Structure 1
């Protein structure tokens, strides 16, 4: 096959670029010999100009996975490392894909941002696109004409969730009340402010015959819930110069978490 390719290249006077995506997976499946042959493609040529270039794309450092024969050639290769995508970059990617794949107004900016925030943990555009796809499928199964934040959270829960029943049950009672307040305030929204949650928390505490804690203690509870991955907090600047803290749920639908909390309280 490679000889046939070489004849075509020579006949057409072109330079062929071979791109192997997920090269680490290919190597595990026994493609080292193919990569070796491609790396030696121009050995018998007299001309100093190469006719073939090989690009290996991998999330892992693939050169260490090659056998000695192929490695001897790739020692002279250029390695380009790409940083993980940021939340802002992922937001742009998801927005572009949504524009291509969905009807207008099917998904709003908050849900796009929620997908980006969830995916930023991994910095993976493919994961973000899969989240968009899965969220759309869940919305369709539910008969909804729009992708809501709850669909996004449900998609994350199906993919990989750090929220477990044990983690919820082990929370101290006041922390459960704060988390319940987050769920009740959230409803179908992607983000809520700490001020909104604190108001709901005081109502929830009264409902469960508990004395609501002061603002400073409430804020500490919010930080603790964020530290163990049950909620996410994000501080943004306001036009007036102030700062607002937003809370979001990334790993589980607010309705599902609310029902679990109400069972254990």
Structure 2
């Protein structure tokens, strides 16, 4: 029997959960300052006072959600007097839906399925907070969905003015935004701006060294020793940097490990990583396409429908204008955002006005993009 081969009931994974995208590791590396800022904002709540509001900004895959959930986990372990509620605004994008989730966290069951008025729902939440002397902290993840549905003012106003309706109610809000081209403050009414006044917490892109550190940490606890070589780690780090999203690297490690097990190997090879990348690279695509505005998706659809590998900027704009009737400035800003999100690649022809004519191409298989655009 070849001792280098895995038996059917053996595995190279020590703790496979370390490669799940929703797993919260004990140590969130390279986000220490952001976590301290969140703790500072929440600090007053631990003393029974109103917390500071916070605004977490950063590109997809930079640890915003993980940092907030990590701090929420610490709060729940420390006290019952603070109620942290995490809301995914992709799923719950109306004021009623958000308050229904708060109600469920507060009472342990959802509001009646037959539906109660928002006023009654709001009143029950506010009254309970005051009676039990609990401080509410609501994290609104992907808050751009509230901006798109025009619900953001109503949601924030209802939360932050709760003390006016129910004296003694204490509420804080943490907003999480992955769209670096949006300025949330500009979308808020003056009445909401005057009470929101958040502490801004920036989540920059991870550097190459930081990505390597984080992947090494996952490997240490997720695999048994000597499963992943330095060469393999460098390959995963390289692909992760190209994608610009840490989640791609974490998913790649899981897929590469499974590829190795399929070969009954005790070690992950570079070939296992290369095969894994074909699937993992779409993790980033799945997340970012969901966050796009309809008009931004239209730009991608124009490229896909053209049947070409690349399009001149002017040609793409003609298609975009025909479908949306928006001007060139809007188009230009959207294309730049798509490049920031690594959904398109821009290059210059060296021709045109000051040599700025641009060629726009897709870094992904057009069929994969088309599958994810729900227009």
TM-score (norm 2): 0.36
TM-score (norm 1): 0.49
Structure with bigger RCO (C-alpha 8 Å, 6+ apart): 2
Query: Which structure: larger Rg?
Result: 1
